[in-house]
Chains A and B, each alone.
Chain A
């Protein structure tokens, strides 16, 4: 059973991260806020309850690896990493500014806590398979997690990597699919059918769970069950909503990379204030 106070703290953190992210994107006049908000609860659960990482020693060899395959949602990653202490919160003000470490897509050579440079889609899972494979070669205990978008699964490279992970029995690898049903231009199912998505992963040899990607208790409960089956890589299909937390952004394709106006930001922050958990 997951502790309620713990879950409440995660909810509070997720709200803080959403607020900072909205302010950051509004300030920079550029970003991918819809997908950021979709992934925020998953990132919060990972960084504050699941991953063994040390913000003071980001290159610690025994750390768990987290790869954000949907690299355009770097805003959510930066705010989460800042909240976790990898960088100072003040640095979020430099997002997208000239020479900032916080560019439009994550850069491991600049930003502590980033494992590989993503941006083009379908790159995270193959790299994650390599990480997990290396841990198996060394008999190491650390684990590898990768967060992909759902539209991103239209890239064939994911399915190459899915074959490899199953073939090499990488039960230390977990892919989390941010299944918000939207991609840049439209709904995934109108653009290129993905369903039945769990069946596809199962057929590729993965052990699959589905979860509400905005329910921290359910996310923690799912992560607690890893590995789902010995000898099989793990797939968590997290059902989410693009723009989650802000009513007028939720499930709207336009908010893939729209920037909120001053009025929209004020409304969004007001809505988030209403979601704050009072302990």
Chain B
């Protein structure tokens, strides 16, 4: 039985760790101490935890003000409210003002399951990745979450970091080094490339295993940085495998799939499948059920990749 991890734990641990070594690090929350798992941070660094109450616009604006004075604020809030409610503050106060603020969207995708579309965050990548001067990172596991946070802390500039709640296995080993804008090939392959990020990476790897039995050799890329996107890795995948399937816990509109398609159609046009939530508000159900409902499963990815492979074989 593979051990599963909530990436918020790695996030909280790394945040405490960087805060210990850098007094400029602070956390800003919207009554989200528990949901962002920063309770221990609050105990260790009470003066560096600012809770603005349920007030997302002020949460982000205040963080920009802290950054103006040399602090490195990590805004920790549910992704749906952070991005949806404070998008103009993210654009004007953080990205356009080039404020050194780290926006950490917790429990994204459909992690809130039964709570419904108000609490799902399947639009956040579309909203954030079109904002200039904003780096958008979607870590796949606890190792990458830890490293992405450290890189964000050490690198000047606005960042949106999407921190998963739905438990995932560890994918990366201790030698892994996250770099902004660099996709990582987790599996070589010649017939099709599966490009995923966040919670979908482990499912893409499982799909690649299923494809072996069907005689399809699938490459798997973890595209953890959505902006700036790794153009070289996408161009190589398109030219070397001829088919691309993207998978994300996000709407099929405007997220990872769109970002990949923008590169593909202007460089090496190849057939693609974009897997995600198909532009609808989700019905009621647990996250596990919803991911199955929308075919965001190893078998769903396998089926889409196989269909693509057959199109080319037929041609």
Chain A: number of interface residues, binned into ranges: 35 or more
Q: Do A161 and B61 touch (CB < 8 A)?
A: yes
Is the Cβ of B58 less than 8 Å from the Cβ of A161? yes
Q: How far is the CB of A118 from chain B (nearest CB, A)?
A: 7
Q: Which of B58, B67, B98 contacts A157 (CB 8 A)?
A: B58
Query: In the complex, which residues 211-241 of chain B have their Cβ closer than 8 Å to any Cβ of chain A?
Result: none
Evaluate contact between A135 and B69: CB separation under 8 angstroms.
Answer: yes
Report the stretch among B47-55, B123-131, B263-271 that lies at the interface: B47-55
Which residue from chain A places its CB closest to the CB of B133 in the assembled complex?
Answer: A109
**Which of these, A109, A130, A138, A163, contacts B61 with CB under 8 Å?**
A130
- Give chain B residues whose Cβ lies under 8 Å from the Cβ of A126: 57-58, 60-62, 64-65, 89, 93
Partner of A108, one of B52, B58, B97: B97
Does A65 sit at the interface, judged by CB under 8 A? yes
Known A-B contacts A134-B68, A160-B52; the reply to A123 vs B89 at CB < 8 A is yes
**Contact: A129 with B58, CB < 8 Å?**
yes
Closest B residue by C-beta to A124: B61
B193 CB to closest chain A CB, in angstroms?
37
Instruction: Report how far A65 CA is from B88 CA in the complex, Å.
Output: 22
Is A123 a contact of B92 with CB atoms below 8 Å?
yes
Verify A130–B65 contact, CB threshold 8 A. Answer: yes
Q: Are A117 and B53 in contact (CB under 8 A)?
A: no
In the bound complex, residues from chain A placing their C-beta under 8 Å from that of B53 are 160, 163-164, 167
Q: How far is the CA of A126 from the CA of B50 in the complex (A)?
A: 13
Q: For the complex, what is the distance from the CA of A260 to the CA of B69, rounded to whole Å?
A: 39
Instruction: Scan residues 92-141 of chain A and give those whose CB is less than 8 A from a CB of chain B.
Output: 107-109, 115-120, 122-123, 125-135, 137-138
Pick the residue among B58, B66, B93, B96 that contacts A134 (CB under 8 A): B66
Q: How far is the CB of A72 from chain B (nearest CB, A)?
A: 13
Kindly state whether residue A61 has any CB partner on chain B within 8 Å: yes
Give Cα distance in the complex from A122 to B60, angstroms.
12
Does B71 interact with chain A (Cβ within 8 Å)?
yes
Residues from chain A with Cβ under 8 Å of B260 in the complex: none
The residue on A at minimum CB distance from B50 is A133
Are A134 and B97 interface neighbours, CB within 8 A? no
Bound together, the chains give a CA A108 to CA B26 distance in angstroms of 23
In angstroms, Cα B52 to Cα A65, docked, is 21
Smallest CB–CB gap between B133 and chain A, Å? 9
B245 adjacent to chain A (CB < 8 Å): no
Q: Indicate whether B63 reaches chain A with its CB closer than 8 angstroms.
A: yes
CB distance from B151 to the nearest CB of A (A): 22
B60 CB to nearest A CB, Å = 8
| B97 pairs with A130, CB closer than 8 A | no
Could you give 23 example pairs across A and B, Cβ below 8 Å? A61-B69, A116-B68, A116-B97, A119-B92, A120-B88, A120-B92, A122-B57, A123-B61, A126-B60, A126-B62, A127-B61, A130-B62, A130-B64, A131-B68, A137-B48, A137-B71, A157-B57, A160-B55, A163-B53, A164-B52, A164-B55, A164-B62, A167-B53
4 new A-B pairs (CB below 8 Å) besides A116-B64, A117-B96, A160-B55? A127-B64, A130-B68, A131-B68, A167-B53
